[in-house]
Structure 1
Amino acid sequence: MEGTKLLRAIIETAIDGIITIDSKGKIESLNPSALKIFGYKEEELIGKNISVLMPEPDKSRHDGYLHRYQNTGEKNNRKGERSKRTEERWISVPLQAGCK
């Protein structure tokens, strides 16, 4: 299996939610597990800033976190973040930052 196809198959079948964003924090893709965890449909999130899944104060600070990471490589050392589901319940999710 070609490397890209294999990676896509792994992401699509992972039990962990995986969300990719562009350099400005806009959501590019979500795997089925991420959609299930957050309770959204793909078309509701693609192109929106990832911060729509975060409560305050992280929602307002996220673009700054992203900018700092891009400029310094310094990750936000949080063990988990609260994130919003469609029905306005908050869940705690672990985060991992990485670059393409």
Structure 2
Amino acid sequence: DKVGLSHRIHHYPKQLSGGEQQRVAIARAFSSEPKILFADEPTGNLDSNTGQQIVEQLFSLNSQLGTTLVLVTHDEQLAKRCARTVRMSDGQVKELNA
């Protein structure tokens, strides 16, 4: 319900769009209320509108549940929304912003 898919509860994954599948993955990831959640390119395969919705849901659930959210992304705009950033290049830490 928190990711807006309660009306699709009886659908199989193949019956959901890519964005809906991503929202299900977010709901499942947060359902166990983890202390740390790793998200590797959470918007990588989504159109910009759906990607923005996913980002909003990630940060909203992160705030509500107090989970530490670790994002891996090439998206500079997404990285700017994070409280801390670690930039890597060729397997080496190049910059750390706290």
TM-score, with length taken from structure 1: 0.28
TM-score, with length taken from structure 2: 0.28
Higher relative CO (Cα under 8 Å, sequence separation at least 6) belongs to: 2
